[in-house]
Amino acid sequence: MEQDFLNTLLLTGKLAMLTTLILLIIGLPLAYFLAYNHFRLKPVLEALISMPLVLPPTVLGFYMLVAYSPQNSIGRFLEHTFNLRLAFSFEGILLASVLFSLPFMVQPLQNGFTGIPSSLREASYTLGKSPFTTFVHVLIPNIKPSIITAIAMTFAHCIGEFGVVIMVGGNMPGETRVASIAIYDEVQSLNYETAKSIFICAFYYLHVDSHSYL
């Protein structure tokens, strides 16, 4: 029981940290692109990014599970080309977590970029700095509060994910059983003390994560 408890906490932390890291790498350039570019399909792209905020997690999880299936072209391609099955695996819930947490990373970063005065960016270009140099050395340092907010929201959201994870990964100890699913199981079994212990440890994860960036 103690080993299962520890594995659950380690898996939860691993999922949240990897998801947050992947989304930070993806989210910064994506938020920059959305903040400083205007094109006809921009509202559509922003709506697609925001969809996890309104789409029921189990619905998103179900459609991802269907996509992962070898009966589907995507799942069949992954299995035949890379010998990879995403359904009921850690890699599967990681990909689902990345997609489901996307708006929690992108939106704060986009708001941060749009809040920077355009004169700051223009001054950098006037001094001969490239767009990449301006992005790395001028814009990113000026949106540190937005980066902290995005990381904290994404990490917290990953810790509490339930619907997507249980649909895509099921409840496999050591593989896909994260804290939210473990708490649900313990409550269903009337093991309230164990459920409370898992909750406290998950809350501690959030506490440490939020203070590490302040």
Amino acid at 141: P
| Percent of the chain predicted with pLDDT > 70 | 90
Is the CA virtual torsion 94, 195, 2, 155 positive or negative? positive
Look at residue 54 and tell me whether its pLDDT is greater than 80. yes
pLDDT at 143 over 60: yes
At 122, which CATH number?
Answer: 1.10.3720.10
**How many separate domains does the chain show?**
1
**Integer Cα distance of 107 and 195 in angstroms:** 33
Reported confidence tier of residue 29, pLDDT bands at 50, 70, 90: very high
Q: What is the pTM of this model?
A: 0.87
The pLDDT assigned to 208 comes to 55
What pLDDT, on a 0 to 100 scale, did the predictor assign at position 209?
52
Integer Cα distance of 89 and 68 in angstroms: 11
Tokens for 18, please give them.
């990897």
How high is the pLDDT of residue 211? 52
- Give the residue numbers spanning the domain of 46: 2-212
Closest Cα partner for 107 from 27, 16, 26? 27
